[in-house]
């Protein structure tokens, strides 16, 4: 084994690095916040100028003999130095070091949306998702301490790094350059390219330096070290396989690159060749920077989308081949049948982030994908994350609300050649309408609070009036009537104008059945209720005479579902079926009707480790525009009007 101990010259070089270094103002956007200007001429060794968190990094680095900048830079890539107050990140990573301890419940309720799946425990058992337990063994601290105490968590990360360095080189070095392989191993990557990409980001952070203020007010910094020169050849010591070259799947109009997401953030598949229909494209926003979204998807136990699109210039990074499942939508069935596209931006500040270049790049990509997979260009098939239903009753309220009320659906659908606008008006009761309020002149008041806006642009709760993509829905035909409260969000109270309260809004392009009319007000069937919106002379609607609508066959309310798995009896012997139950707060009462824009699809399940990977059930389910979100009903429970003859879907 090569001796990696530093020379005397190297020791002198890195001793000099602890002298005060002037840091330039940082404008780097990181996941969850915008970086604050760096503190000028702050030395690592001046405790008087250090926050508690900065001191904890220094103490942990010294205790486990990890170069301080190495530890700080790894933590920066893992969490942007956030502590996830009150628990874990959305993906099961704890503390500044993002030590993972992913449970089956997290897999069920997180981006995988694996509620009801028989393999959820197996999905969560991946060793890469349990670095916290290894850190607990190394430090002698309890797993609880490493979850809840930032200081213990930082020490756990330092102990892991030190253990990797010892395993690889037999000793510890005080030269950061010698830690390249240990840093690469910390990523838990499965191939050389993923490990190297992570280590390169860490060392780039050390080289440039950075600083930011965390959400709990802690200022943390890394002094720039322009002399850092990592021993990149060490990547071979990890004995990881070389990744196969992956071509991007993009139209020729876009600048595309491929950077693989961590394999734990999705599943290998062979869609649609294996029979699994891809019939939705789901749009998201990153709630952080383009770079941080790409970096986050490369961490074990986080989330992934197939594509990420930059705000400034529409550059595209593909992270998951479209044949594979990405964990992006919080509902496994949606993941199974969709492609996910992330947009750099913040939902609460959407219009300032969603640029024309980004809209046009996304439109080119969506048209390419729609043509390739035969995805209809309508708002049941091109949806926002906020339009995805939760997989079960307990998770119905928790699916994300991005890209939010400030994504210009009117303009975007026009770019797709499928405009939601047209000759405005409203037809008779029982006919369908498309919600078409426009955007620029459709100004609504919403309330935004700091916790809704990780960009840092909202210091306190405030009401703002902005161009938006929705109409407010009320319980009666008057402006003073309470807003409708979605049953999952507000079971016993009205809705609100809070920016994340999706339940009281109908978005541009969505289609509903007219339930009533009174003066300037129109009522629609929505989430099992009759709701009203101001619609003088049909200004906010376009008649949809060709829409297909479904309603209950009999007098009993129809059950509504968030998933579409086959019945247990339809699953081959030796495989454990996924389970599903109706969403307890939702039904389609007799007399109501809802729009569907596709024929019913066969129930489907996926078993990646089985010989028969895709199993189709004998029943079909319609996707309906039930409320703000789409939902599923069994074909046998409803009667359809206007279905084109001979259409089928798998």
Query: pLDDT tens digits for 423-477?
Result: 999 999 999 999 999 999 999 999 999 999 998 899 999 999 999 999 999 999 9
pLDDT tens profile 554-596 = 999 999 999 999 999 999 999 999 999 999 999 999 999 999 9
Tokens in use for 584? 């307890």
3-class state of residue 24 by DSSP: coil
DSSP 643: P
Is residue 603 a contact partner of residue 621, using CB atoms and an 8 Å limit? yes
Position 6 scores a pLDDT of 33
pLDDT tens profile 215-259 = 788 999 999 999 999 988 888 888 888 866 778 999 999 989 999
Angstrom CA distances, 631 to 52, 302, 418, 563, 622, stand at 48, 26, 22, 8, 8
Is residue 533 a contact partner of residue 472, using CB atoms and an 8 Å limit? yes
Among left, alpha and beta (phi > 0; psi -120 to 50; other), residue 558 is beta
pLDDT tens profile 512-527 = 999 999 999 999 999 9
**Whole-number Å distance between alpha carbons of 296 and 319:** 11
Tokens in use for 616? 């189709």
Angstrom CA distances, 44 to 12, 67, 222, 224, stand at 17, 12, 8, 11
Query: How many CA within 13 A on the CB side of residue 119?
Result: 14
3-class state of residue 57 by DSSP: helix
Position 603 scores a pLDDT of 98
Tokens in use for 112? 């995988």
Position 106 scores a pLDDT of 87
Of 33-37, 103-107, 327-331, the one with minimum mean pLDDT is 33-37
Residue 47 neighbours by CB distance under 10 Å: 10
**Whole-number Å distance between alpha carbons of 560 and 565:** 13
Sign of the C-alpha dihedral computed for residues 627, 629, 630 and 631 taken in this order:
negative
pLDDT tens profile 604-630 = 999 998 988 999 999 999 999 999 999
In the 3-class helix/strand/coil scheme, how is 212-241 assigned residue by residue?
EECCCCCEEEECCCCCCCCCHHHHHHHCCC
**Count of all residues that appear for the chain in the document:** 650
Strand runs labelled E in 248-366: 256-258, 266-267, 280-285, 307-309, 316-318, 325-326, 338-343
Residues with Cβ within 8 Å of 73's Cβ and at least 6 positions away in sequence, in order, are 202, 203, 205, 206, 222
> Which range, 180-194, 232-246, 495-509, 634-648, has the best average confidence (pLDDT)?
495-509
The residue behind tokens 């005060």 is: 20
Position 20 scores a pLDDT of 25
Which segments of 80-187 does DSSP mark as H helices, in order?
Answer: 104-109, 120-124, 131-139, 143-148, 150-169, 180-186
Question: Residue 198: which pLDDT band, with cuts at 50, 70 and 90?
Answer: confident
Regarding predicted confidence, which is higher, 2 or 249? Answer: 249
Residues with Cβ within 8 Å of 286's Cβ and at least 6 positions away in sequence, in order, are 31, 292, 293, 308, 342, 343, 344, 345
Mean pLDDT, all residues of the chain? 88
Of 29-33, 93-97, 140-144, 370-374, the one with minimum mean pLDDT is 29-33
Is residue 113 a contact partner of residue 330, using CB atoms and an 8 Å limit? yes
Mean of pLDDT values over 545-552: 96
**Whole-number Å distance between alpha carbons of 398 and 629:** 12
Residue 374 neighbours by CB distance under 10 Å: 10
pTM: 0.86
Position 632 scores a pLDDT of 98
3-class state of residue 474 by DSSP: strand
Helix axes 52-64, 68-79, angle to 10 degrees: 120
Residue 640 neighbours by CB distance under 10 Å: 15
Question: Residue 82: which pLDDT band, with cuts at 50, 70 and 90?
Answer: confident
Pick from 524, 583, 587: nearest CA to 552: 587
pLDDT tens profile 279-311 = 999 999 999 999 889 988 998 889 999 999 999
- Phi and psi for 211 in degrees, rounded to 5? -155, 150
Share of the chain above pLDDT 90, in %: 75
Sign of the C-alpha dihedral computed for residues 586, 590, 596 and 600 taken in this order:
positive
């Amino acid at each position: 084994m090569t001796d990696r101990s530093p020379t005397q010259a190297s020791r002198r070089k890195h001793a000099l690095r602890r002298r005060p270094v002037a840091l330039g103002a940082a404008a780097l956007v990181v996941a969850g916040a915008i970086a604050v200007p760096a503190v000028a001429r702050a030395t690592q060794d001046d405790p008087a100028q250090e926050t508690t968190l900065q001191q904890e990094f220094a103490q942990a680095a010294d205790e486990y003999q990890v170069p301080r900048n190495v530890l700080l830079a790894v933590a920066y890539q893992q969490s942007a130095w956030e502590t996830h107050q009150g628990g874990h990140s959305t993906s099961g990573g704890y503390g500044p070091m993002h030590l993972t301890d992913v449970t089956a419940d997290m897999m069920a309720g997180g981006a995988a949306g694996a509620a009801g799946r028989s393999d959820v425990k197996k999905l969560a058992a991946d060793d890469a998702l349990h670095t916290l337990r290894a850190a607990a063994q190394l430090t002698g601290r309890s797993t609880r301490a490493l979850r809840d105490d930032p200081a213990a968590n930082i020490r756990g990360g330092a102990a892991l790094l030190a253990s990797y360095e010892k395993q690889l080189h037999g000793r510890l070095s005080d030269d950061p350059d010698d830690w390249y392989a240990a840093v690469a191993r910390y990523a838990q990557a499965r191939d050389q390219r993923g490990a190297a990409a992570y280590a390169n980001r860490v060392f780039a952070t050390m080289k440039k330096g950075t600083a930011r203020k965390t959400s709990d007010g802690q200022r943390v910094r890394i002094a720039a070290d322009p002399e850092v020169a990592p021993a990149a050849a060490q990547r071979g010591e990890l004995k990881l396989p070389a990744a196969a070259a992956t071509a991007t799947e993009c139209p020729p109009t876009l600048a595309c690159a491929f950077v693989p997401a961590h394999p734990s953030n999705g599943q290998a598949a062979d869609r649609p060749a294996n029979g699994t229909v891809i019939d939705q494209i789901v749009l998201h926003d990153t709630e952080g920077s383009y770079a941080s979204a790409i970096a986050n998807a490369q961490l074990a136990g986080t989330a992934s989308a197939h594509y990420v699109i930059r705000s400034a210039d529409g550059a595209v990074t593909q992270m998951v081949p479209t044949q594979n499942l990405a964990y992006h939508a919080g509902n496994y069935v949606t993941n199974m049948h969709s492609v996910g596209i992330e947009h750099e931006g913040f939902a609460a500040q959407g219009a300032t982030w969603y640029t024309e270049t980004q809209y046009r790049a996304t439109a080119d990509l969506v048209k390419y994908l729609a043509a390739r997979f035969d995805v209809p260009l309508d708002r049941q098939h091109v949806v926002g994350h906020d339009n995805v239903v939760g997989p079960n009753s307990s998770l119905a309220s928790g699916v994300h609300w991005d890209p939010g009320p400030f994504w210009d659906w009117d303009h975007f659908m026009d770019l797709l050649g499928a405009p939601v606008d047209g000759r405005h008006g409203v037809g008779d009761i029982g006919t369908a309408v498309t919600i078409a309020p426009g955007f620029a002149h459709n100004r609504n008041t919403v309330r935004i609070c700091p916790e809704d806006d990780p960009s840092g642009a909202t210091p306190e709760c405030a009401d703002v009036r902005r161009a938006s993509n929705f109409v407010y829905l009320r319980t009666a035909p008057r402006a003073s009537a309470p807003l409708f409260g979605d049953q999952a969000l507000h079971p016993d109270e009205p809705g609100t104008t809070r920016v994340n309260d999706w339940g009281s809004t109908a978005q541009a392009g969505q289609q509903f059945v007219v339930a009533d009319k009174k003066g300037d007000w129109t009522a629609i069937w929505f989430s099992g209720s009759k709701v009203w919106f101001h619609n003088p002379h049909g200004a906010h609607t376009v008649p949809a005479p060709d829409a297909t609508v479904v309603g209950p066959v009999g007098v009993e309310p129809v059950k509504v579902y968030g998933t579409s798995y086959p019945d247990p009896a339809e699953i081959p012997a030796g495989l454990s079926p996924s389970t599903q139950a109706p969403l307890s707060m939702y039904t389609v009462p007799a007399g109501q009707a809802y729009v569907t824009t596709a024929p019913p699809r066969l129930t489907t399940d996926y078993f990646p480790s089985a010989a028969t990977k895709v199993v189709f059930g004998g029943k079909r389910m319609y996707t309906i525009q039930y409320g703000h979100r789409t939902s599923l009903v069994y074909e046998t429970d409803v009667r359809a009007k206007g279905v084109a003859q001979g259409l089928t879907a798998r």
